[in-house]
Amino acid sequence: MEENCHYYKMFGFNRKFKSTERRPPPDVTDAFSLCTSSESQMSPDHFRRFLIEFQGEEEVTIDDAKRTMELLLRRFRPNFSLCSFTLDDFFNYLILDDLNGPIPSEVRHDMTAPLHHYFIYTGHNSYLTGNQLYSDCSEVPIIKALHKGVRVIELDLWPNSAKDGIHVLHGRTMTTPVRPSKCLKSIKEHAFVKSPYPVIITLEDHLTPNLRAKFAEMATEIFGDMLYCLKTGDSDEFPSPEELKHHIILSTKPPKEYLESKLEEELVVGEETPYGCKSGNPTDETMSSNQDDNMSNLNQNLSQFMDFEDEDGDVGDEKPGEKTPPEYIQLIGIHAAKAKKGLRNALKVASGKGKRLSLGEQNLERAADLYGTDLVRFTQKNFVRVFPKGTRVTSTNFKPLLAWMHGAQMVASNMQGYGRSLWMMHGMFRSNGGCGYVKKPDFLMRRGPNNEVFDPKATLHVKKTLKVKVYMGDGWHIDFKQTHFDTYSPPDFYTKMYMVGVPADVTEKKTRVIKNDWTPIWDEEFTFPLTVPELALLKIVVRDNDVSEKDDFAGQTCLPVSELRSGIRSVPLHNEKGDKLQSVKLLMRFAFE
């Protein structure tokens, strides 16, 4: 084994920095030999055989194989004369994630179903650059989110201090405002850079009728024919993502409904209004739990600042008898509606075009616990949007799986945030070519002869088993300084895998620690039995083992199991914020039984 040695003289003694030469694992060498009949060169025909027999790419042609080989050869041997692979060429192909990644890069799902049949990549307070209390508001995080494929952008609309203009900001906080025109123009310019499918703008509307008229004029002038508006005679089903390509959809509560009765409870069920007060009149069903929540919140420092969010807005300084102009109401493509008698009543499915129900994360948990199948049934005809609780002032996020298990289409995340929950969000929406729309599994849309639906609490049998082999890792010596993980020696890497999904599928596995090596070779296989593979995510985290301190983070990714390509694949890793590392990757094999 050849080694590149680097010597550091520290405190009067030397330490050797070892970097093992990257070489193919035995499985790669064996695959090369089997497909080439032990010849030293792999022809396009041989390579096609490998893609079909080992990688499961049954529809690949000789021309496809040759085209891929030429792409690789141009990178490493620009003056090649013969289209053939050596073992090193073959290994170079396998380790390149842009040619041999773990999930497909194209849109594969049926995009002609109604809009509410999809999970949709959703942002929360999309204009914030940082925390929820005093960060700047800007169009920049909106642009970043759109470039990552986010399809639902949230804007909070408030009157300025003179009540003659509109600000976008997180109300009743110290966040600095940004002009709505800036946000809308940025959305128009960047909406379809990553994906052609519709962008939904959810509005938290605190405007007076005259300011709503200004906003309607502004939105119409900026978006024009891009805006999707409801028309008389529209069918009960929403149009499909395919039909709505390159369209903008506004979603908020039609304000005229507020004037009908201030005593009606909004569909924002149980979320706090400013200073810990509940909105609406709770019924006996929710009264005791709401009181408990309020007492708990009173015991929290900063609760008066944290529990301010009324997700679909209020009426600002609207006077009785004032009417919101019809041009504003006509722009609302997805209506957030009202409910009168608590959470369970809100989940009753009415006839007519669906509505949008917003739930805070704690009320999602309550709905899932008490009325799980009602929630699933509701999402078959309507939208559900779930948003982070107000106490997440540092822009952390909640785990999205519970919402997806119950069919919620819009799981709102603080995209400027951080953490494992956001990694899961990134993982889910790597599906379907990263277009921001993921078709909900069929079992979430089916109804039985007695109107029964999928029950997330039911005990299920294993449907599929995923086998994962972790061969090796590479690229840290390029992307990181030699002293990043340890001042005196190379890192001690290990890989940990977490299966995330329905409770029965949740598990974790760990490789052994490879000491003092920038190019670790594990060559270990793990098995994951899955009852609901359609909702499973494989979270992969590499760390440097440290006996005296917390293990150092060395990369992560989260992959949708339903989209995994079988065979030997290159898996690129990302930093803690979710940005792709330039060179770091794992070589892995995936197989289903």
pLDDT at 344: 87
Contact 504, 405 (CB under 8 A): no
Task: Please pick, among 46, 116, 117, 170, the residue that the annotation labels catalytic.
Answer: 170
- 81 & 221 share domain: no
Nearest by Cα to 422 from 392, 389, 400: 400
**574 tagged catalytic:** no
Looking at 443, 478, 500, the residue that finishes a domain is: 443
Q: How is residue 284 written in tokens? A: 């006996």
Residue that is last in its domain, among 414, 443, 472: 443
Instruction: Check: CB of residue 561 under 8 Å from CB of residue 536.
Output: yes
119 and 82 in a single domain? The answer is no
pLDDT per residue as tens, the chain (593 positions): 344 444 443 443 344 555 567 899 999 999 999 999 878 999 999 999 999 999 999 999 999 999 999 999 999 999 999 999 999 999 999 999 999 999 999 999 999 999 999 999 999 999 999 999 999 999 999 999 999 999 999 999 999 999 999 999 999 999 999 999 999 999 999 999 999 999 999 999 999 999 999 999 999 999 999 999 987 666 678 999 999 999 999 999 987 554 453 334 445 554 433 323 333 333 333 333 343 443 333 333 333 333 334 555 554 555 666 788 999 999 999 998 655 568 888 888 765 667 899 999 999 999 999 999 999 999 999 999 999 999 999 999 999 999 999 999 999 999 999 899 999 999 999 999 999 999 999 999 999 999 999 999 999 999 999 999 999 999 999 999 999 999 999 999 999 999 999 999 999 999 999 999 999 999 999 999 999 999 999 999 999 999 888 999 999 999 999 999 999 999 999 999 999 999 999 999 999 99
Torsion of Cα atoms, 387 then 389 then 393 then 395, to 10° = -30
Question: What phi and psi values does residue 165 have, to the nearest 5 degrees?
Answer: -150, 175
Q: Which pLDDT score is estimated for 185?
A: 98
Residue 342 neighbours by CB under 8 Å, 6+ apart? 265, 269, 282, 283, 285, 286
Q: How far is it between the farthest Cα atoms of the chain?
A: 86
pLDDT at residue 256 in the model: 58
Amino acid type, 65:
A
If asked whether residues 478 and 411 sit together in one domain, one would say no
Taking the CB of residue 110, how many other CB atoms lie within 10 A of it? Answer: 12
Domain of 565, in residue numbers: 461-592
Same domain, 251 and 363: yes
Please count the other Cβ atoms lying within 10 Å of the Cβ belonging to residue 299.
7
Domain end among 95, 129, 154: 95
Virtual torsion, Cα 42, 48, 49, 53, nearest 10 deg: 130
Residue 478 lies in a domain: yes
Q: Which helix (H) or strand (E) holds 438?
A: strand 437-439
470 Cβ neighbours under 8 A, 6+ residues apart? 495, 497, 511, 522, 523, 524, 525, 526, 586, 588
174 and 239 housed in the same domain:
yes
In a domain, 525, yes or no: yes
Shared domain check, 204 and 121: yes
pLDDT of 529: 98
pLDDT given for residue 232 in this prediction: 66
Active site residue 124: yes
199 with 309, same domain?
A: yes
Question: Is 395 in the same domain as 479?
Answer: no
pLDDT at residue 101, as a whole number: 98
Q: What angle do CA 444, 449, 453 make, to 5 degrees?
A: 25
**Phi, psi angles (nearest 5°) of residue 557:** -155, 165
In a domain, 320, yes or no: yes
Both 337 and 431 in one domain: the answer is yes
- Catalytic-labelled residue, pool 46, 124, 335, 426: 124
Length of the chain, please? 593
pLDDT of 9 reads 37
CATH number of the domain residue 555 falls in: 2.60.40.150
How far is residue 147's CA from residue 406's CA, in Å, rounded to a whole number? Answer: 28
Cα–chain center distance at 578:
10
Distance CA 89, CA 73 (A): 8
**Six-digit token string for 224:** 């024009």
Q: Is residue 13 part of a domain?
A: no
Please answer whether residues 178 and 186 qualify as being in contact, where contact means their C-beta atoms are separated by less than 8 angstroms. Answer: no
Instruction: Give the domain CATH number at 86.
Output: 1.10.238
Residues 541 and 493 in one domain: yes
Which residue blocks in 347-429 are alpha helix, DSSP H? Answer: 361-379, 401-405, 420-428
Residue owning tokens 């970043």: 144
- My answer on whether 295 and 199 are in the same domain is yes
pLDDT at 308: 35
Q: Which residue has the tokens 């006509």?
A: 330
Q: What DSSP string describes 97-131?
A: HHHH-SS-SS--S---S-GGGEEEEEESSTTBSS-
Query: Residue 585: what are its φ and ψ, rounded to 5°?
Result: -160, 160
Selection from 412, 419, 414 nearest residue 383 by Cα: 412
| CA distance to 126, 131, 176, 462, per residue, from 134 (Å) | 15, 7, 7, 48
For residue 144, what are the CA distances in angstroms to 107, 141, 180, 435? 21, 5, 17, 15
For residue 2, being part of any structural domain is answered with no
Residue at 5 is within a domain:
no
Query: What CATH number is attached to the domain comprising 321?
Result: 3.20.20.190
| pLDDT given for residue 343 in this prediction | 86
Domain count, the chain: 3
133 plus 70 within the same structural domain:
no
